[in-house]
């Protein structure tokens, strides 16, 4: 299937590993010109090598307004105005509500919500001019199914879902779609970190926790990052022009609710 995005410029945040990198690779395979960012210099270099030319990778802290603006200017100057925006972050601090500090909540807000606000604010004017744009926020299953160990993420990602719906309504008349992708348990470094937390709490070995996590999913395994990345790429496509304001759950059927 031709997704109709060959030559389109895409910015994918926090994309040097995991789901972010998988999304960038899926978009690149479809012919988009992809700009990614990350924090670790070695990972930036490695991720750039997997994408090749004409793509680009820069250092950017998505919690920093100045960094996002610099990344946006660099992308526009090198590849052209972005027509596809994929917001993403490594995820806020894990912990029960009573164990979290105000500083952790603030950092989580800057990372998880404000980066999405800022990226859309920068890219949407040019998308409006072009009368075409695709915005995808990578959030999490916990936006619909809160997890006590992921208190900050559960709270902020639910809010991000509401914001994306409002963005979809405001930007829809200009040919711009806005959607959220909510991954379930995915085989990433973030998942390993969460399993370590659970293993410490349960007293089990992390391998046992990983088996338990896989068996909890009806399809009996964790997702591969590229399976999430391909869904994101489709939502960025010409074919997905009537999908907007949606929260797409990609979770192997683990969610209990209908919404």
> In degrees, to the nearest 5, what angle opens at C-alpha 42 toward C-alphas 38 and 226?
60
How many CB atoms neighbour CB 58 within 10 A? Answer: 16
More reliable by pLDDT, 204 or 173? 173
- Contact (Cβ atoms closer than 8 angstroms) between residue 8 and residue 33: yes
Distance CA 169, CA 135 (A): 13
More reliable by pLDDT, 60 or 213? 60
Strands 84-87 vs 9-12: parallel, antiparallel or unpaired = parallel
Domains and CATH numbers, the chain: 9-183+225-248 (3.40.50.720), 185-222 (no CATH)
Q: Is residue 15 scored above 70 in pLDDT? A: yes
Element spanning 181, H or E: strand 176-183
Rg (CA), the chain: 18
- Residues 16-27 have a mean pLDDT of 96
Distance CA 175, CA 162 (A): 20
- Residues 79-92 have a mean pLDDT of 94
Highest mean pLDDT among 122-126, 181-185, 255-259 belongs to: 122-126
Distance CA 71, CA 66 (A): 9
Average pLDDT, the chain: 94
Closest to 235 in 3D by CA, of 144, 168, 158, 159: 168
- Contact (Cβ atoms closer than 8 angstroms) between residue 38 and residue 60: yes
Model pLDDT, residue 43: 94
Q: Give 116's Cβ-side CA count (13 Å radius).
A: 27
Model pLDDT, residue 14: 96
Let me know if 104 is exposed, middle or buried by CB neighbors in 10 A (0-12, 13-18, 19+): middle
| Token pair of 114 as six digits | 């404000």
Read off the pLDDT of residues 214-237 as tens digits, 9 standing for 90 and up. Answer: 998 999 999 999 999 999 999 999
Burial 149-182 (b: 16+ CB within 10 A, else e): ebbbbbbbbbebbebbbebbeebeeeebbbbbbb
Read off the pLDDT of residues 156-201 as tens digits, 9 standing for 90 and up. Answer: 999 999 999 999 999 999 999 999 999 998 888 788 877 888 888 8
- Confidence at 1, pLDDT banded by 50, 70, 90: confident
- Confidence at 259, pLDDT banded by 50, 70, 90: low
Q: Is residue 8 scored above 70 in pLDDT? A: yes
Distance CA 179, CA 73 (A): 24
Model pLDDT, residue 91: 82
């Amino acid at each position: 299937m031709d997704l109709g995005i060959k030559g389109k410029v895409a910015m994918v945040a926090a994309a040097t590993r995991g789901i972010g990198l998988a999304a960038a690779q899926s978009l690149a395979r479809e012919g988009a010109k992809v700009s990614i960012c990350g924090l670790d210099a070695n990972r930036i270099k490695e991720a750039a090598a997997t994408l090749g030319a004409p793509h680009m990778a820069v250092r950017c802290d998505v919690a920093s307004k100045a960094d996002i603006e610099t990344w946006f200017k660099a992308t526009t100057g090198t590849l052209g105005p972005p027509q596809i925006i994929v917001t993403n972050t490594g995820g806020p601090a894990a912990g029960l509500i009573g164990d979290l500090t105000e500083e952790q909540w603030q950092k989580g807000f800057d990372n998880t919500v404000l980066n999405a606000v800022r990226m859309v604010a920068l890219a949407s004017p040019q998308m409006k001019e072009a009368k075409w744009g695709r915005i995808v926020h990578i959030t999490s299953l916990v936006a619909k199914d809160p997890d006590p160990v992921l208190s900050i993420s559960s709270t902020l990602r639910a809010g991000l879902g509401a914001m994306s719906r409002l963005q979809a309504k405001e930007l829809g008349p200009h040919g711009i779609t806005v959607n959220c992708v909510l991954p379930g348990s995915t085989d990433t470094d973030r998942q390993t970190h969460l399993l370590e937390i659970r293993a410490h709490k349960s007293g089990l070995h992390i391998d046992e926790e990983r088996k338990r996590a896989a068996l909890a999913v009806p399809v009996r395994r964790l997702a591969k990052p590229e399976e999430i990345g391909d869904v994101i790429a489709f939502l960025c496509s010409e074919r997905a022009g009537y999908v907007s304001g949606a929260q797409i759950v990609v979770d192997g059927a683990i969610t209990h609710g209908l919404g």
